[in-house]
Structure 1
Amino acid sequence: MKLGIGLKLMAGLVAAALAAGPALAEGTLRVAMTLADIPLTDGAPDQGTEGVRFAGYTLYDPLISYDLSRSDKSADLRPALATEWHTVEGDKTKWVFKLRQGVKFHDGSDFNADSVIFNLDRAFNKEFPAYDPSFERQLKIYLPSLKSWRKIDDYTVELTTKAPDSLFPYQMPRLLIASPAQYEKLGKNWDAFRSQPSGTGPWKIGELVPRQRLELLPNKDYWDKDRVPKLDRLVLLPIPEVSARTAALLSGRVDWAESPSPDTVEKLTSAGMVISTNAIPHVWPYTLSELPGSPFADIRVRKAINLAIDREGLVKVLNGLAVPAAGNVSKQSAWFGKPTFEVKYDPEEAKKLLKEAGYGPDNPLKIKAAISTSGSGQMYPLLMNEFIQENLRDVGVELELEVFEWEALRGRRRVGAQAPENEGIVILNNSYSTNDPYVAVLRYLTPEEIAPKGSNWGSIRDEEIERLAKELRNEFDAKKQDEIIARIHQRFVDRADFVWVVHDVGSRALSPKVKGHVHAQSWFVDFSPISIAP
């Protein structure tokens, strides 16, 4: 396996991250992230949804955000920099957003419609002076329906979609609004902006040391007075190696460790640490190439691999820090439907299906997967993939693992299975949020989403799913939407278009000094109510 970062270098980076910086003030929360580097701080974070969690929703606000204030229900959409939104009567492709007034960027400039237009232009208008391909690269798969935009007045904008799309509001939380005035002030230079970012979010930049730490300070003038941070400082440390994160927490060098090592759960709880989990909408699957020539173009092979994995056994190895998956969403979800294909552990049926597909001892199925060393939502990818590798070997399948650093793997995802650099790779191990209808199903299954345009990495095509997707986008009644989504998901599972393994539970280990943490049913976290006990 090709490890992206050597262990010695990793240890050095961890030591530097933990040792660097001034003496910690009372009320400082130190977080060990799973990332290998600090996410981009320009309002279009890289490093996946963990990058958005730590360098996105801290420094910036979107027009529409998530309500992260409760742990007992799914995190729903809520107004943020937009106070309301609706389609135009007679034209379902046009959405009008009324913007919040009186909001200031960290640099003191005003948030208004010009700010929204600027942020759309910088990401999607190649002729715009402030355009940077980094923004388009990070954002385009999350706003695939967007066609055009215009200012109506100082606090109203109109966004137009390529076709009617009832799910468009669910795409908006990824559009974070950066300060045009700060960009101008810093010489119209995005590298300079990344060192001195300015958003409207509850946190301001304190200090940024690449690959070592990002220090954030509370925005005491934040527009949402109920979410003004209580902490004096938030320190984010990239520590991708799981045992290093756990050791840092046990030694008192951090207060919060993302995805603690499963085999240290007992040790952590014995030391007084809190293992926090919840039923977050996040799935850890294998995305499959269904291109001509791929073994996964055959549904029998797709079903066989699904049946070859001992999910209950894997959950035991993970010490309960996961839940077996039978689809993209849980069986309890209104979107699960009633699939006839049951995702379960049945190695004998897997062998039978492989034999029917022409594979066996004289012609073993050999497949290659692209996986990561760690990263946003990737949980414990080396441990988990090696466990599955053994499961597949038991049914006569040889799984080769090609290992990438997380952002490098995301680059392979963006270009699609058909790209020359992905030649020979028929599996992508990429975890996904499933918190809304668009990210739960549509972005993997429709032709307009085929990479590099979107998230359909494996070029999955199915006429019935495409028909239902069109029906869904033209349906603006929430109850009827749920019914259509369930039918899409049902067919998704019956076709075995992914190999589903587990659902994440958002595990994090917390020092008992951490107070006010709400483990929302979301991939994201609101750090505003958190405090540190003396």
Structure 2
Amino acid sequence: MSTTRFLVAGLMVMGLLASKPLGAQPAPSAGKVLRIAMTASDVPTTSGMPNNGYEGLRFLGYPVFESLALWDLSRADVLAELRPGLAERWEQDPSDAKKWRFHLRQGVRFHDGTTFDADAVIWNLDRFFRDGAPQAEPAGAAIVRGRVSGVASYRKIDDRTVEIETARPISYFPYLTVYILFASPKSFEEGGRDWGRVAASGAAGTGPFRITRFTPRQSVELSRNDNYWDTARRAKVDRVLLLPIPEANTRLAALRSGQVDWIEVPPPDGVQPLRQAGFNIVTNSYPHVWPWVFAAGKAGSPVADVRVRQALNYCIDRDGLVALLNGTAEPSVGFYNKSNPLFGRPQNAYRLDPARGKALLAEAGYGPQRPLRLTVGISTSGSGQMLPQPMNEALQESLREHCGVQVEFRVVEWNTLLGGLRASPDQPGWLGADALNISLVSSDPSQMARWFLGANVSPRGSNSGHWVDPAFDAAFTEVETATDPQAVSAAVTRAHERLVDGAPWLYVVHDLNPRAMSRRVRGFVSAQSWFQDLTTVDLQ
């Protein structure tokens, strides 16, 4: 039996096993209560900068806390773009491209009734960017700084205007501001100036929902904010109950039994039976890559050799993995989808080509007498991780079968893996691995800079593999400073070609963002984004 068929059969057997019922959950309040099963192994933190990756931001970020710019999640047919959020508008200083001015929206209040203004903006920026500030939050700061690099300074101009200066001109800086969320300073004071106590009750944000009940490791309940500043986007449901259920078949059982209305990432073998049973399966293209991040800058690692990284990209069966996932993903051969006009024309066209892979490995000194051995850190579950263990086992077998590569896994909990990705590849947090497996976002040039720019190597930024390529950096200097859209697109294309040929990642698949819902759920728009708008959702 082939590896892929064996894994599919294994998953089907798992699906036939009786899943244990969910633990006792708090009885939801009266009214329309939307119950969502997340893939996270724990409730994301509730202090105003959630952990658990972008799934945390999806469910305990934007629904409760907002940013100066927000994502437009109103359409399913186009890639989500920016829209004004807590800032009505912004502009780059024409005389100094490092400075951005944000004009704040009037009439916005936090859930505790206090006013959102420039003082609140500066207070939150100090929380994340000023070491030693009374309100400094190390955990939240680590998340924000990993996503938002290049902030040099900021100041209040007046009650409605804030200026942020970057360390260098960054044309895409508004795309970075979406990852700075704003919580009420009053929450911090009422929590005794202790972020742990703030999280226990839930901080106050400005969003369409507010935190009303939190049971550690079990659930968090959000209630509609009837005073939400955007009256056209006030929520239709009364409550949202979020439940961390990391095991896919347990989520499936919860949906089938009516314990939840919506599950993230149904098991692939359960998709067709769910359809036949009358559940809605929602998929859509979105900016998501599922790779191995190579420790390209780690001295002594075999993946420091570009020939090894390229070889591994020729040694895996992406089509077999898509079959394992029952068509809920598509092959990845670069950071962008191959159909993206910005993909370019790189020299390497990755596909399953064992002869090419073996030849490159031989050039690097590896073969039957000296097989390549790799250690890869993976998680048991987590935000956007699909089915990390079966998928990685398929890759392990594919590399062994096609190119004789031997892979050993170090399996850790999701947040442990995230912590490793914020460290340098030679630090203990990287688990002594040659690669870490994590799903990552590819929505816009800011994300390309985040993962690959030489200036953003961890722990300063999110280039956790420490891949540094002068040609990529040169192309991105033009991206950051150009004002002509065609020049920007041409530079992004050149940068992407370097990402393919430099192979800082093992490109595996692009996820199609599957979720399953009861037919009671109405009004959901599957945006081409990691984030989704819960305000449009209603229950029949």
Q: Would you call these one fold, judging by a TM-score over 0.5? A: yes
The aligned counterpart of 1:271 is 277
Q: Are 1:438 and 2:449 counterparts?
A: no
Deviation, structure 1 residue 197 = 1.3
The aligned counterpart of 1:353 is 360
Q: Are 1:308 and 2:324 counterparts?
A: no
User: How many angstroms apart in 2 are the aligned matches of 1:446 and 1:384?
Assistant: 28
**Which of these residues, 246, 249, 258, is aligned with residue 252 of structure 1?**
258
**Which of these residues, 459, 477, 485, is aligned with residue 478 of structure 1?**
485
User: How many angstroms apart in 2 are the aligned matches of 1:166 and 1:128?
Assistant: 29
Aligned with 1:141: secondary structure?
A: helix
The aligned counterpart of 1:121 is 126
The aligned counterpart of 2:176 is 171
The aligned counterpart of 2:497 is 490
Root-mean-square deviation (CA), in Å? 1.5
Aligned with 1:387: secondary structure?
A: helix
Spell out the pairing of 1:127-146 with structure 2 (5 A cutoff).
Answer: 127-146=132-151
User: How many angstroms apart in 1 are the aligned matches of 2:29 and 2:269?
Assistant: 30
Deviation, structure 1 residue 103 = 0.4
**Which of these residues, 331, 337, 344, is aligned with residue 337 of structure 1?**
344
**Contact 1:39-1:51 within 8 A present in 2 as well:** yes
Aligned with 2:146: secondary structure?
A: coil
Deviation, structure 1 residue 367 = 0.2
Q: Which moved more, 1:451-460 or 1:208-217?
A: 451-460
The aligned counterpart of 2:30 is 25
The aligned counterpart of 2:411 is 403
The aligned counterpart of 1:214 is 220
Aligned with 2:458: secondary structure?
A: coil
**Contact 1:334-1:482 within 8 A present in 2 as well:** no
Aligned with 1:92: secondary structure?
A: coil
Name the CA shift for 1:279/1:107 in 2 (closer, same or farther; >3 Å).
same
User: How many angstroms apart in 2 are the aligned matches of 1:91 and 1:274?
Assistant: 51
Name the CA shift for 1:320/1:131 in 2 (closer, same or farther; >3 Å).
same
Q: Are 1:518 and 2:508 counterparts?
A: no
Deviation, structure 1 residue 398 = 0.4
The aligned counterpart of 2:240 is 234
The aligned counterpart of 1:465 is 472
Deviation, structure 1 residue 189 = 2.3
Q: Per-residue CA shift, 1:487-518, capped at 9, x if unaligned? A: 10011101222110000111101111100000
Q: Are 1:287 and 2:293 counterparts?
A: yes
Spell out the pairing of 1:380-419 with structure 2 (5 A cutoff).
Answer: 380-394=387-401, 395-419=403-427
Q: Are 1:75 and 2:80 counterparts?
A: yes
Aligned with 1:199: secondary structure?
A: coil
Q: Are 1:154 and 2:159 counterparts?
A: yes
User: How many angstroms apart in 2 are the aligned matches of 1:29 and 1:423?
Assistant: 38
Deviation, structure 1 residue 126 = 1.4
**Contact 2:28-2:241 within 8 A present in 1 as well:** no
Spell out the pairing of 1:51-66 with structure 2 (5 A cutoff).
Answer: 51-66=56-71
The aligned counterpart of 2:93 is 88
Structure 2 residue identity aligned to 1:424: G
**Contact 2:19-2:249 within 8 A present in 1 as well:** no
Aligned with 1:342: secondary structure?
A: coil
Aligned with 1:305: secondary structure?
A: helix
**Contact 1:14-1:239 within 8 A present in 2 as well:** no
Q: Are 1:327 and 2:327 counterparts?
A: no
**Contact 2:207-2:228 within 8 A present in 1 as well:** yes
User: How many angstroms apart in 1 are the aligned matches of 2:318 and 2:218?
Assistant: 36
Q: Which moved more, 1:263-272 or 1:184-193?
A: 184-193
User: How many angstroms apart in 2 are the aligned matches of 1:345 and 1:429?
Assistant: 20
Aligned with 1:150: secondary structure?
A: strand
**Contact 2:419-2:429 within 8 A present in 1 as well:** no
User: How many angstroms apart in 1 are the aligned matches of 2:19 and 2:129?
Assistant: 39
Structure 1 residue identity aligned to 2:43: I
Percentage of pairs with the same residue = 45
**Contact 1:64-1:81 within 8 A present in 2 as well:** yes
Aligned with 1:435: secondary structure?
A: coil
TM-score (norm. length: structure 1): 0.95
Structure 2 residue identity aligned to 1:400: E
Aligned with 2:128: secondary structure?
A: helix
Deviation, structure 1 residue 12 = 11
User: How many angstroms apart in 2 are the aligned matches of 1:374 and 1:431?
Assistant: 11
The aligned counterpart of 2:6 is none
Runs of 4+ in 1 over 6 A off after TM superposition: 11-14
User: How many angstroms apart in 1 are the aligned matches of 2:159 and 2:407?
Assistant: 56
Structure 2 residue identity aligned to 1:263: D
Structure 2 residue identity aligned to 1:398: Q
User: How many angstroms apart in 1 are the aligned matches of 2:80 and 2:214?
Assistant: 30
Deviation, structure 1 residue 250 = 0.8
The aligned counterpart of 1:3 is none
Name the CA shift for 1:219/1:475 in 2 (closer, same or farther; >3 Å).
same
Q: Are 1:420 and 2:425 counterparts?
A: no
Aligned with 2:56: secondary structure?
A: helix
**Contact 1:93-1:161 within 8 A present in 2 as well:** yes
Structure 2 residue identity aligned to 1:283: V
**Contact 1:146-1:160 within 8 A present in 2 as well:** yes
Q: Per-residue CA shift, 1:340-365, capped at 9, x if unaligned? A: 20111112221222122211121111
Structure 2 residue identity aligned to 1:411: G
The aligned counterpart of 1:379 is 386
User: How many angstroms apart in 1 are the aligned matches of 2:21 and 2:165?
Assistant: 46
User: How many angstroms apart in 2 are the aligned matches of 1:299 and 1:123?
Assistant: 36
Structure 2 residue identity aligned to 1:474: T
Deviation, structure 1 residue 14 = 6.5
Deviation, structure 1 residue 423 = 5.8
**Which of these residues, 29, 35, 42, is aligned with residue 37 of structure 1?**
42
Aligned with 1:234: secondary structure?
A: strand
Deviation, structure 1 residue 196 = 3.2
**Contact 2:374-2:406 within 8 A present in 1 as well:** yes
Aligned with 2:116: secondary structure?
A: coil
User: How many angstroms apart in 1 are the aligned matches of 2:493 and 2:102?
Assistant: 29
Deviation, structure 1 residue 185 = 3.0
User: How many angstroms apart in 1 are the aligned matches of 2:496 and 2:228?
Assistant: 40
The aligned counterpart of 1:4 is none
Structure 1 residue identity aligned to 2:335: N
User: How many angstroms apart in 1 are the aligned matches of 2:43 and 2:74?
Assistant: 26
Name the CA shift for 1:275/1:457 in 2 (closer, same or farther; >3 Å).
same
**Contact 1:26-1:532 within 8 A present in 2 as well:** no
Structure 1 residue identity aligned to 2:415: E
Aligned pair count reads 521
Structure 1 residue identity aligned to 2:444: D
**Which of these residues, 192, 197, 205, is aligned with residue 203 of structure 2?**
197
Name the CA shift for 1:167/1:496 in 2 (closer, same or farther; >3 Å).
same
Q: Which moved more, 1:41-50 or 1:423-432?
A: 423-432
Structure 2 residue identity aligned to 1:339: P
**Contact 1:321-1:504 within 8 A present in 2 as well:** yes
Q: Are 1:429 and 2:429 counterparts?
A: no
